[in-house]
Amino acid sequence: MLDAAPIRSDWTREEAEEIYNQPFMDLLFQAQSVHRQHYDPNQVQKSKLLSIKTGGCAEDCAYCSQSARNGAKLSASKLIEVERVIAEARKAKEGGATRYCMGAAWRSPKERDMPALEAMVEGVKALGMETCMTLGMLEEDQVFRLRDAGLDYYNHNIDTSERYYKEIITTRTFADRIDTLNKVREAGIKVCSGGIVGMGEQQLDRIDMMLALATLDVHPDSVPVNMLIPIADTPLADVAKLDPIEFVRTVALARILMPKSHVRLSAGRTDMSDELQAMCFFAGANSIFVGDTLLTADNPEEDKDQVLFDKLGITAMAVGCDGSHG
Ligand code: SAM
Ligand code: DTB
Ligand code: SF4
């Protein structure tokens, strides 16, 4: 076994560009070599998402079905009942998911919602699952309360490069996002942060997005890489499709820059072939969302994923595998 590559937060733009643009076979070989230093290459972690509050969001994220400012016709719901969340989490656990991620279409949570959110974390944690929430921006006291309830992970995506961000969202800044990530990290909650590719960005934006995550003092523990799911009536509904090879290059860059992080092949799998997903796993992706719905959009059915896992000889990763293998 080769010595493990060092974990670095001082990557330069030049290094990242060189990694991303090297011949594809060299890139895949490098990514898979780094992957094997930290993880069993035949294991993939399964997370399950649940939308606990859908639609009617005040933010203007151009990709999102849930923004009240977009033309998308999704009606707004209230925060769902704690008991329903726990019942759904139990089903997800029976289906093999180890992490339960609860998402709300909010700019940030309100004080009146905090007791229910804390109860959801406590209830899901008591099932023996890892807990994750994605609720928008957080104040420091909210971070502490969720941590004390047992929150393991907080998801908050930077979404794209700092340069392209302004084209996608105007109602909060890239710096706001980094600020929330820092609060979460400082409180001792694990960070889940990634972004979306295929939003009409340049190659350099994909590189800079990964560089922004990889130059945080501590890398995110999970890095979701989403392929844009184009949503009818949103500003990105008709954006040109990205070459899938560029998507694989982005996954490989994430793996090489952040060797110990779980890199999640996230949104967009419904439109990906088995071969493309297999290539993403080879490039170092080792986590997926399972179940036929993400938050509002489609995801492959569980049995379809099981067929893929069987074909590839992939098994589900147990709770708590953190890149310290090898
Ligand atoms: N409202 C919270 C927030 O934005 O932080 C949490 C939920 S939000 C839907 C979580 C993430 O899902 C977004 O940051 C974005 O990266 C991803 N996402 C949303 N819509 C998507 C789409 N149509 N295609 C791909 N990814 C998407
Ligand atoms: C992430 O990076 N992707 C997930 C999760 N984190 C919250 C969400 C994907 C959403 C896809 C569009 C939808 O379901 O509306
Ligand atoms: Fe709201 Fe999150 Fe959708 Fe943005 S991504 S519109 S913050 S739900």
pLDDT, tens only, 294-313: 999 999 999 999 999 999 99
**Does the CB atom of residue 231 touch ligand 3 within 6 A?**
no
Report pLDDT for 79.
94
In the predicted structure, residue 71 carries a pLDDT above the cut 90: no
Average pLDDT taken over every residue of the chain? 94
**Does the CB atom of residue 136 touch ligand 1 within 6 A?**
yes
pLDDT band with cut points at 50, 70 and 90 for residue 326: very low
Report pLDDT for 95.
87
Q: Which ligand is nearest to the CA of 224?
A: 2
Report the candidate in 43, 92, 8, 115 with the shortest Cα–Cα distance to residue 284: 43
Among the residues of the chain, which ranges form H helices?
Answer: 13-21, 24-38, 82-94, 114-125, 140-149, 162-168, 174-186, 203-214, 244-257, 274-282, 302-312
Lowest-confidence pick of 70-74, 99-103, 211-215, 227-231: 70-74
In the predicted structure, residue 5 carries a pLDDT above the cut 80: no
pLDDT, tens only, 165-186: 999 999 999 999 999 999 999 9
Q: Which ligand is nearest to the CA of 195?
A: 1
pLDDT, tens only, 182-225: 999 999 999 999 999 999 999 999 999 999 999 999 999 999 99
If you take atom 5 of ligand 1, which residue's CA is the nearest one? 136
Q: What number of CA atoms fall less than 13 Å from residue 51's CA on the CB side?
A: 19
In the reported structure, the alpha carbon of residue 41 is separated from the centroid of ligand 2 by a whole-number distance in angstroms of 25
Q: How far apart are CA 98 and CA 131, in angstroms?
A: 9
pLDDT, tens only, 46-61: 999 999 999 999 999 9
pLDDT, tens only, 240-294: 999 999 999 999 999 999 999 999 999 999 999 999 999 999 999 999 999 999 9
Please identify which of the residues 145, 177, 192, 206 carries the catalytic annotation: 192
Q: How far apart are CA 190 and CA 302, in angstroms?
A: 27
Lowest-confidence pick of 4-13, 46-55, 68-77, 286-295: 68-77
In the reported structure, the alpha carbon of residue 318 is separated from the centroid of ligand 3 by a whole-number distance in angstroms of 30
Helix (H, G, I), strand (E, B) or coil at 174: helix
In the reported structure, the alpha carbon of residue 1 is separated from the centroid of ligand 1 by a whole-number distance in angstroms of 38
If you take atom 8 of ligand 3, which residue's CA is the nearest one? 105
Q: Is position 321 annotated as part of the catalytic site?
A: no
Report pLDDT for 184.
97
For residue 215, with 0-12 CB atoms within 10 Å meaning exposed, 13-18 middle and 19 or more buried, which class applies? middle
Q: Which two tokens stand for residue 255?
A: 């793996």
In the predicted structure, residue 316 carries a pLDDT above the cut 80: yes
Q: Mean per-residue pLDDT for 22-35?
A: 98
Which residues are within 8 A (CB) of 173 and not within 5 positions of it... i.e. 6 or more apart?
165
In the predicted structure, residue 25 carries a pLDDT above the cut 80: yes
The residue with greater pLDDT, 323 or 222, is 222
* pTM strictly above 0.75: yes
**Does the CB atom of residue 296 touch ligand 2 within 6 A?**
yes
Please identify, by atom number, the ligand 3 atom nearest to the C-alpha of residue 65.
3
pLDDT, tens only, 87-106: 999 999 998 899 999 999 99
Q: Which ligand is nearest to the CA of 135?
A: 1
Report pLDDT for 207.
98
Report pLDDT for 6.
85
Report pLDDT for 182.
96
